[in-house]
Structure 1
Amino acid sequence: MAEIPVEKKGGLSWLWILLAVILIALLVWWFMGTDDDDEADVTSTAQVEETVEPETVDETPANDTSTAGTPGAEAGTLAAILANPDAYYDEEFAGEVDVGETLTDRGFWVEQDGNRMFALIVDEPREAPVDINPGMELRLTDAEIRRTSSLSDVEGQALDADTRRIADEQSVILVVDEEDIEILSPQ
C-alpha cells in the first residue's frame, strides 16, 4: 500500500470563524439599534407637539430677552399669567418690565407688551432701598406669582391700607425681593 501523508489541521480555526460571526452580528445589531432610537425620538417628539394646547404655547420670539431667565418654573410673560393665573400661582417670574405707575412705597404696576400687573416689594432692612419710579425699565428675577389671599405670608413689615386695598382687588400679583430688582433704565 501506498503511504498517504495525513496532516492534522489546527482545531481552533472554527473558533475564530465563530467569533467573527458573533462580532459581525453585534455590529449589525448596534448600527440597526441606533436607527430605531432616532425614529423613536422623532415619533415621540411629534406626539408631544400634537398634544400641546394653544393656551400654553408661548409665542415670544426666541431672541426676545424680555422673558430671559432659567428655563422651567418661570412664567414667560405677563400676558400668559393674566390669561390663566391658576396655572402660574406659586411659580417664579423673570423678565424685563416697565414701571407703569408707583402707587405706594411697596406697590407699583409693572407693564409688558400692553399687559399690566400689580407688584409688591418685600420690605426688608437694606442699606439702600430700591427707589421705583414711573417710566423705569426693570429686570425682575425670582419674582413670585401669588394669590392675593397669600399676602399675609409676605415677608417684612405689614402692608399699609392703600397697598392692601389695591392688592386685594387683583386676582394675581407679583411679590419681589428688593435684591431681585435691577434697574435697567432710570425714568
Structure 2
Amino acid sequence: MAEIPVQKKTSMGWLWLLLGLIVLALLIWWIAGSNDNDEDLVTGNDVVLQDNAAGVNGGAMADAANPDTTGALTLAQITADPQQYFGRDFSGEVDVGSNLTDRGFWVEQNGNRMFALIIDQPREVPKDINAGQTLRISGGTVHDASSLDDIPGDSLNQNTRKIIADQDAILVVDEANIEILNKG
C-alpha cells in the first residue's frame, strides 16, 4: 500500500474574523459619535446671565438698582450698552450668521447680531460651525473688543482683527461650551 503524507492545513480564517470585528466596532463607534444631536432636549430660546464673581447669591446677578442686569439677557441688551455687560457670562441659543473667519462667527438672535470669537484650544476634532446653524452657548463671556491681548490662544488673523475693530463688544466662547443643535 502507498503511504500518503497527511499534513494539517493551517487556516487564516480567524485573522479575517478578527479584522472584520475590528472594522465593525470602528463603524459602530463612528456612527454613534457623529449622531450627537440632542434635539429632544431643546426647550426654547432661554438665555441666562450669570455674574463671574463667586459667592454673590450663588453667582446670580442681584442688582436692584439696575434691573437690566437681572434675569434673561439678550443680544439686543448687550449691543445697546455693551460696557454694562463686560466680563459677564452669556448662555443661550443663537443662530450662526454669515461672514465666518478662522476663529470667529456672527451670532444672531431676534434680528440682533454680535461677533463671537472661539478660544483657540487644541482639540482632537474642532467644531465645524457653519452659517445657518443653531447653537447653544454656555459660559460665553462678553468681552471688550478693544482689548484683544486678554484673549487666550493663537494670534488672530487680519480678517478677524478687522471685524473685531469695528465692534464695541464681542462674545468669547470656549469651543467646549458650544453645542450644535442643528446643522442648518
Give TM-score scaled by structure 2 length.
0.63
Which of 162, 168, 186 is the aligned partner of 2:183?
Answer: 186
Query: What is the CA deviation profile of residues 81-102 of structure 1, one whole-angstrom value per residue up to 9, with x for unaligned ones?
Result: 1111111011110000000114
Which runs of structure 1 show a deviation greater than 6 angstroms over 4 or more consecutive aligned residues?
none
Structure 2 residue corresponding to 1:161, chosen from 158, 161, 172:
158
The question of 1:66 aligning with 2:46 is answered: yes
Q: Does the alignment pair 1:81 with 2:55?
A: no
Give aligned pairs, total.
125
Shift of 1:152: 1.1
Give the number of the structure whose alpha-carbon radius of gyration is greater.
1
Gaps of 5+ in 1: 1-62
- Cα contact 1:102–1:132 (8 A) shared by 2: no
User: Of residues 100, 120, 143 in structure 1, which corresponds to 2:117?
Assistant: 120
Q: 1:121 to 1:75 in 2, by over 3 A?
A: farther
| Per-residue deviation, residues 68-120 of structure 1 (Å, max 9, x unmatched) | 57672586110111111111011110000000114211011000010000000
In 2, the alpha carbon distance for the partners of 1:132 and 1:177 equals: 13
Code of the residue aligned with 2:182 in structure 1: it is: S
Cα deviation for residue 153 of structure 1 reads: 1.2
- Counterpart position of 1:101: 98
Task: Give the corresponding residue for 1:32.
Answer: none
Structure 2: distance between partners of 1:145 and 1:69: 10
The residue identity in structure 1 corresponding to 2:142 is I
- 1:102/1:133 contact within 8 Å kept: no
Which aligned pairs between 1:8-87 and structure 2 lie closer than 5 A? 65-68=45-48, 72-73=60-61, 76-87=73-84
Show CA shifts across 1:36-89 (max 9, x none). xxxxxxxxxxxxxxxxxxxxxxxxxxx954315767258611011111111101
Contact 1:75 1:91 in 2 (8 A): no
CA distance in 1 between counterparts of 2:89 and 2:48 reads 12
With normalisation by structure 1, the TM-score equals: 0.62
Which amino acid letter does the alignment assign opposite residue 128 of structure 2?
A: D
More helix by share: 1
Q: Tell me the alpha carbon deviations over residues 131-166 of structure 1, each in whole angstroms, 9 at most, x when there is no partner.
A: 110000000011010111221111111000110110
CA separation in 2, counterparts of 1:133 and 1:173?
Answer: 18
Counterparts of 2:86 and 2:157, CA distance in 1: 23
CA–CA separation in structure 2 for the residues paired with 1:144 and 1:182: 16
Please say if residues 75 and 81 of structure 1, whose CA atoms lie closer than 8 Å, have aligned partners that are also in contact.
no
The share of aligned pairs that are identical, in percent, is: 51
